[in-house]
């Protein structure tokens, strides 16, 4: 599978009952059903385009039951979620879908279109607290490469009374939608820190794109494998984070051929092997996908760690995932 990414993305986490965070998958444009269908066709063909941003949402770390310190210089405290002015009760995740009750009536997924989420933002630098609101606007459903459904919302935020952001502003870059993913990720380390809560992941960022490409972290048994591990590996492969230290070694729009040992994505090219990937970065690496990066510590732009070359370990004449039992995903590229 060949794909592209973008250099931006974001995350907002609503934990315990709900959490939000994530990266996006399209550079720009409207996100209608045609786009979703075309995106699925692209996924099935196997070519992706890399990107380097973890998420993209302006705020990180909202917990429904408590607080959480995120990437922003402070913390956010969940106050409530409302639909048409009515408080949403019994919030939880059913897979990747938000569910709850409104006036005693069960709601799920796209039925929360128009909902408002209120949080308190505690600014630790200014020693001040102020209200931040998020609005879940237009909704759609994105079908992943394995056929699972991901709810997507266009999300806006505002700070009532603020001169700069008192009006509704897009939360994701270029107004891209955000999908809901079960679980929480640390916006600094990119590590999955909880299986609870929900993360809103901007489409085009690392979190979202890897799920859309078929590595759905909520699927715990796909051919006997937990896809959360493959999602972790994809989060390193997409931005060319060879060393697993959150340092990207690529640029927007670079085509990369992704494939894996579950055949969720299959190789579509005869390009040279770039790397084999595990949950913590590249297990082996040949030429980085961008020529300015080097594996030589004496080179001008060193990738920052020592990684062995990818070789034909089992002697069958091919360099493939069978040569590296700990690898989950392989990538091919045309270095440029």
Sequence-distant (≥ 6) Cβ neighbours of residue 54 within 8 angstroms: 9, 10, 11, 23, 185, 187, 190, 205, 206, 207, 235, 246
Q: Is 33 exposed, middle or buried (0-12, 13-18, 19+ CB in 10 A)?
A: exposed
Q: Is 125 exposed, middle or buried (0-12, 13-18, 19+ CB in 10 A)?
A: exposed
Q: Distance between CA atoms of 62 and 219, rounded to whole angstroms?
A: 24
Does residue 249 or residue 187 have the better pLDDT? 249
For residue 2, what pLDDT band results from cuts at 50, 70 and 90?
low
Domain spans in the chain, listed from the N-terminal domain onward: 2-333
pLDDT of residue 162: 83
Q: Distance between CA atoms of 230 and 18, rounded to whole angstroms?
A: 23
pLDDT of residue 192: 83
Does residue 185 or residue 91 have the better pLDDT? 91
Q: Distance between CA atoms of 3 and 148, rounded to whole angstroms?
A: 19
Residue 249 C-alpha from the chain's centroid: 18
Reply yes or no on whether the pLDDT at 4 is more than 90: no
Sequence-distant (≥ 6) Cβ neighbours of residue 20 within 8 angstroms: 11, 12, 13, 14, 57, 62, 134, 178, 180, 198, 199, 200
Reply yes or no on whether the pLDDT at 116 is more than 90: yes
pTM of the model: 0.81
For residue 108, what pLDDT band results from cuts at 50, 70 and 90?
very high
Mean pLDDT lowest for which of 55-59, 249-253, 288-292?
Answer: 55-59
Mean pLDDT lowest for which of 66-75, 141-150, 237-246?
Answer: 66-75
Give the pLDDT mean for 192-204.
Answer: 82
- Helix (H/G/I), strand (E/B), else coil: 82: strand
pLDDT of residue 173: 83
- Mean pLDDT, the chain, whole residue set: 80
Parallel, antiparallel or unpaired: strands 62-63 and 74-83? parallel
The model's pLDDT over 15-66, given as tens digits with 9 standing for 90+, comes to 433 434 333 222 223 333 333 332 333 333 344 554 545 444 434 333 333 4
Q: Distance between CA atoms of 308 and 330, rounded to whole angstroms?
A: 15
For residue 121, what pLDDT band results from cuts at 50, 70 and 90?
confident
For residue 215, what pLDDT band results from cuts at 50, 70 and 90?
very high
Does residue 131 or residue 329 have the better pLDDT? 329
CB 240 within 8 A of CB 335: no
pLDDT of residue 13: 61
Q: Which residues are paired to 86 by β-bridges?
A: 83
Mean pLDDT lowest for which of 19-33, 54-68, 70-84, 257-271?
Answer: 19-33
Does residue 123 or residue 269 have the better pLDDT? 269
């Amino acid at each position: 599978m060949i794909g592209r990414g973008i250099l931006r993305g974001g995350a907002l986490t609503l934990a315990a009952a709900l959490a939000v965070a994530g990266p996006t998958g399209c550079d720009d444009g409207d996100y209608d059903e045609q786009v979703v269908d075309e995106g699925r066709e692209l996924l099935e063909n196997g070519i992706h385009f890399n990107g380097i941003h973890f998420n993209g949402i302006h705020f990180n770390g909202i917990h429904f039951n408590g607080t959480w310190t995120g990437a922003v210089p402070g913390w956010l405290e969940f106050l409530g979620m409302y639909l048409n002015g009515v408080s949403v009760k019994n919030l939880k995740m059913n897979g990747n879908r938000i569910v709850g009750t409104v006036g005693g009536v069960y709601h799920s997924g796209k039925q929360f279109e128009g909902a408002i989420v209120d949080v308190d933002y505690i600014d630790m630098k200014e020693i001040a607290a102020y209200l931040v609101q998020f609005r879940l606007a237009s909704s759609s459903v994105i079908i992943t490469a394995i056929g699972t459904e991901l709810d997507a919302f266009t999300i806006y935020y505002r700070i009532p009374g603020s001169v700069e952001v008192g009006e509704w502003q897009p939360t994701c870059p270029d107004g891209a939608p955000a999908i809901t993913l079960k679980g929480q990720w640390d916006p600094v380390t990119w590590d999955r820190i909880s299986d609870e809560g929900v993360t809103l992941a901007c489409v085009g960022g690392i979190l979202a794109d890897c799920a859309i490409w078929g590595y759905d972290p909520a699927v715990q048994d796909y051919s006997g494998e937990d896809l959360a591990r493959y999602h972790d590996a994809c989060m390193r492969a997409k931005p060319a984070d060879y060393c697993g230290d959150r340092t990207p070694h690529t640029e927007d729009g670079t085509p990369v051929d992704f494939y894996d040992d579950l055949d969720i994505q299959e190789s579509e090219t005869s390009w040279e092997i770039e790397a084999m990937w595990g949950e913590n970065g590249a297990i082996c690496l040949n030429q980085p996908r961008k020529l300015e990066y080097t594996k030589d510590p004496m080179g001008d732009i060193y990738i920052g760690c020592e990684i062995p070359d990818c070789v034909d370990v089992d002697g069958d004449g091919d360099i493939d995932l069978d040569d590296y039992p700990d690898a989950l995903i392989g990538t091919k590229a045309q270095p440029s």
